[in-house]
Structure 1
């Protein structure tokens, strides 16, 4: 047992190092804590205590006790409280950690301690944190890494989990969604706009508002009825100037975007004054609302695709979910995860052939800009390393607006049919596309005549469009990885002949909240045939730390960073032992279902408690059957051998 515990101690040490936490072993280099430990024996004799690890992060103390058996995680009293008897603090991880935490609080000036009871081995274990202060202790959710307790995150974690404060981003999100709902009502009631037109009007106004520093003023919107001077005509003039200022090119692209915005000057209802709006036109009312409530949030937050959020909200408030058109926009935490899965670098050239409102391009550009070391690199990224295709004119215009709002008027977006493009020509863009991101249209293949529109066909076409050795990540329904039809099976076979499947990650069923699609992420290496002995990773990431909250939709909880860090550690090969319930590494065949559920096997040895619980469940079942007159189900039949 001592050897097992020592190995587990090393595993915990590695997790601490990875989180950037400098911890001391069985003592502390901090004098007051070390003095306190001199009388902190778990045997409660007043002698020296030796916790496995102690660290100080910010003004928090972290103290840890490890046990090699999960049965020794925690001992509780009959009332459910943590037992503090000598046997409990000596033999159980949580109890021992709590003992040390209370002693440190009593003997030092530290006020806040996170106590960790860690039990198991490197493959199957439980890491159970408590928060301890003078008022007692508080149970916290189990963790898989110590990322939340690093210097970068510990204060935020404390505020969320211990103080139970609503994080600023949740407040901002709630505010934005509230405003999206209000704006939806205004656009519908006063503008008579359809669900696809609403985000276009918002985009047009945002572009015009960017011209405020060059002469545009909301007071110029007077409701004039002269055709060349209506509010819509004025907004159109300024948004056109902004497209020119952003150097949107070529001219055909700029004109295509402008064509989508002509409704603001052509629609009489938008340009007619209304008494119930204070004798303003709906356009001026919308422009004032956006300027006062939304504009600054959008231009100051480069990471968030607010126009995409508005689009999703407008569709949902209109009673749809976008699926009828195959439109399922990707949430930001997924677009950012893609960047990590492919290890995005500032030298990469990104391509999204179904870019929608530009979510993947925004996240990719944001990551690359952060990694860039000079203004010249950043300029080159914006102008030469971002490529996208969108087949729908309205989405194309929104994506273009999104990129302009982030200072990228020359992003190489085109409005075309991706499947009609020559993969060889696409490969050459930007000197060679190295990264492909995609959320293709869903459920477009309804039969043999439309089999070429399946998600797998989109994946194959994207892989063929990336330079050899390039990385590709796609998010598709889990059904796409099964290959039910003859046509899909042939495509899977063709993919493995030319490209390498690195792995598939099954996602939270609520990732596309309100849509009902259960998605997964598939990651490939382009242009390199899949070797027969290639080991691919299949991960169950359904518990990703995101939850659905009323009035907010899918939001990040305090567990998300920890969950994602563990996912990335496993994906990058940093975790040697992992439960098969989370990840399976295996060779693959084109006839396999490329999903964790297909390859999963239970590698966990049942504990004695598991066995006893199973026996108890069976006996309870048998008793219920007998008392309900179905005892005959358990009568043995046959000859002497069954007597």
Structure 2
């Protein structure tokens, strides 16, 4: 095993002229010998000055031994970061070892200028392009330029500006915001919007010409890729309401400039997140309209957990059959792109062939397309239509749905991550439909009410599912998970592997009690991480991956069939861990939210029955 092979892999990835090598490194940086306290000049294998910060790299072959192992590369790069003539400059260190691109080990370190502390940059385990590394540097050195708190605060302020004088209807604000974000990505629009004048015709709204330019920009950007299997969608028509937005022209331009400065530009430097989904939740919840939607959008930290649990590989094809605003697909896209190690041909393949999304709600579909566009694209296989091909809690597919099933199967999805609607039979039907789409051996990760498989009305359907798939894990979620959306439903994340052999009755399932996810409700800020989430998620992922009973994860293993062969979907062996204490107020709020939802559903069913027999409806 040769160190030169590792160095060549690094050169090939970044380009032969990108980094300065060894003895060509300017002496004024004063790197010292690899031993602590050494006084002789030392030379990292690679070096680059990024103006405000520098990068040092040490490569080793990866062979066992004190001078060739990955640990040796880590020790030496940390030595260079600590011993140099630029103590006030930020330094990113990279330790790399291995003999092939697929087997490379990579560790990233950061030293803040003016300090002696060298810390690992968590979550980075592969080579990445310099522009991507620069984003991570900005986040670790200066904080995420688009923090959750700042984003929420700005969106709340923006909502008030949209709400003033009923300028933008509450149900259209998220789409309006997405239109402005897309327009800001359109160079022709950026070049002219500040110079647009008001029309001379007083009968037109003052911002009519600006509105026209926004719609044209959206049309230019989003019409480039539309899947032929979708219901027909006219982007200009979808955003036609923008033409009637009546905001004073100068203020309108200021709003656009503020969005550009506070969200659009920082989002290019920040780690990816579902910005438009966040806006959707805030705008509707502030208007009191969230209950009007049979939709619960997944919190960001659970999106990441669920995609991690899907255990993506570089060639995986990811499906979301109820994609909402696209959160799961964006996270999957980011993980797959990271695995491409900067290979643009592979990244294009990911965008065009490895992401499949289906959504029936027109607003959410538009938001998903907008989100994917703003985060690097991936819209080639987003379909605007109903994804259900199983509607009666069986695996039978009607003739009219066979064409869609066969088309999705032709794309060979082997991972599916979804958060379906929770009302009625939707959870069971979406589970069955997803398994119908997946390749043999494919994994389904789905969050749904925790009693979906165990309630008596689903007994036959649950048995049918377990004849088509292995149940791998069940992770119970906090009751307050959807607090910000006014929902108190109790949910679990279920993990299935599609298998023609079904679930063996003696197979152990990993159960996890994650009632405490480290998040707390904070007045005016929703649920926020108290600083414990990373450790909790790491423990849970390890318990699921390695089939372990861990106290840190509150996990246990159990069969789901008793000695008589009866299904106990919640596990024959019950939760052995002491129950986490919950605040009485928190529990009361969650119970109230759940009761409110159940009451609303009961009124709807009663009114349907009354209308069916020709009587009036009840006043809720």
Q: Smaller-chain TM-score range? A: 0.5 to 0.7
CA-based RMSD: 3.4
Q: Which moved more, 1:345-354 or 1:181-190?
A: 181-190
Q: Tell me if the contact between 1:427 and 1:467 (Cα under 8 Å) persists in the aligned partners.
A: no
What is the distance in 2 between the residues matched to 1:568 and 1:534? 19
User: Does residue 502 of the first structure (1) align with residue 472 of the second (2)?
Assistant: yes
Change (3 A) 1:568 1:233: same
CA deviations over 1:559-603 (Å, ceiling 9, x no partner): 22211111111111274x53599222122249645336x632548
Change (3 A) 1:152 1:207: closer
Q: Tell me if the contact between 2:560 and 2:570 (Cα under 8 Å) persists in the aligned partners.
A: no
Number of the residue aligned with 2:369: 400
CA deviations over 1:177-226 (Å, ceiling 9, x no partner): 11111111111114443332001111111111111367633224323266
Change (3 A) 1:306 1:601: closer
What is the distance in 1 between the residues matched to 2:231 and 2:216? 17
Which residue among 161, 170, 175 is the counterpart of 2:150?
175
Number of the residue aligned with 1:44: none
User: Does residue 371 of the first structure (1) align with residue 339 of the second (2)?
Assistant: yes
**Structure 1 residue 289: deviation in Å?**
3.1
User: Does residue 346 of the first structure (1) align with residue 314 of the second (2)?
Assistant: yes
User: Does residue 243 of the first structure (1) align with residue 219 of the second (2)?
Assistant: no
Structure 1 segment 494-643 matched on structure 2, within 5 A: 494-514=464-484, 515-528=487-500, 529-573=502-546, 575=548, 578-579=550-551, 582-589=554-561, 592-595=567-570, 599-600=573-574, 602=576
Which residue among 418, 421, 431 is the counterpart of 1:441?
421
Change (3 A) 1:258 1:214: closer
User: Does residue 337 of the first structure (1) align with residue 315 of the second (2)?
Assistant: no
What is the distance in 2 between the residues matched to 1:150 and 1:526? 41
What is the distance in 1 between the residues matched to 2:119 and 2:261? 37
What is the distance in 1 between the residues matched to 2:265 and 2:182? 12
Q: Tell me if the contact between 2:229 and 2:383 (Cα under 8 Å) persists in the aligned partners.
A: no
What is the distance in 2 between the residues matched to 1:599 and 1:550? 38
What is the distance in 2 between the residues matched to 1:204 and 1:556? 31
Partner SS, residue 479 of structure 1? coil
Partner SS, residue 147 of structure 2? helix
What is the distance in 2 between the residues matched to 1:581 and 1:469? 26
In structure 1, runs of 5+ residues without a counterpart are 1-29, 33-56, 59-148, 155-164, 275-279, 446-452, 605-643
Number of the residue aligned with 2:234: 256
Q: Which moved more, 1:557-566 or 1:225-234?
A: 225-234
Structure 1 segment 3-402 matched on structure 2, within 5 A: 151-152=120-121, 168-169=143-144, 172-212=147-187, 216-224=191-199, 230-244=209-223, 246-248=224-226, 250=228, 255-265=233-243, 267=244, 270-271=245-246, 274=248, 280=249, 283-320=252-289, 322-373=290-341, 374-402=343-371
What is the distance in 2 between the residues matched to 1:542 and 1:169? 28
What is the distance in 2 between the residues matched to 1:308 and 1:215? 24
Q: Tell me if the contact between 1:355 and 1:438 (Cα under 8 Å) persists in the aligned partners.
A: yes
Number of the residue aligned with 1:617: none
**Structure 1 residue 383: deviation in Å?**
1.1
- Between Structure 1 and Structure 2, how many residues are aligned? 429
CA deviations over 1:474-513 (Å, ceiling 9, x no partner): 011223243242xx11210110111111111001222222
**Structure 1 residue 258: deviation in Å?**
3.1
What is the distance in 1 between the residues matched to 2:216 and 2:551? 60
CA deviations over 1:238-296 (Å, ceiling 9, x no partner): 2212224x54555977843332201011x2xx24x64xxxxx27754542332232211
What is the distance in 2 between the residues matched to 1:202 and 1:580? 41
Change (3 A) 1:353 1:171: closer
Q: If the length of structure 1 is used for normalisation, what is the TM-score?
A: 0.61
Number of the residue aligned with 1:6: none
In structure 2, runs of 5+ residues without a counterpart are 1-34, 38-73, 76-117, 124-139, 390-400, 579-620
Number of the residue aligned with 2:450: 478
Q: Tell me if the contact between 2:518 and 2:536 (Cα under 8 Å) persists in the aligned partners.
A: yes
Q: If the length of structure 2 is used for normalisation, what is the TM-score?
A: 0.63
What is the distance in 1 between the residues matched to 2:443 and 2:378? 26
**Structure 1 residue 538: deviation in Å?**
1.1
What is the distance in 1 between the residues matched to 2:288 and 2:528? 22
Give the greater-gyration-radius structure (CA).
1
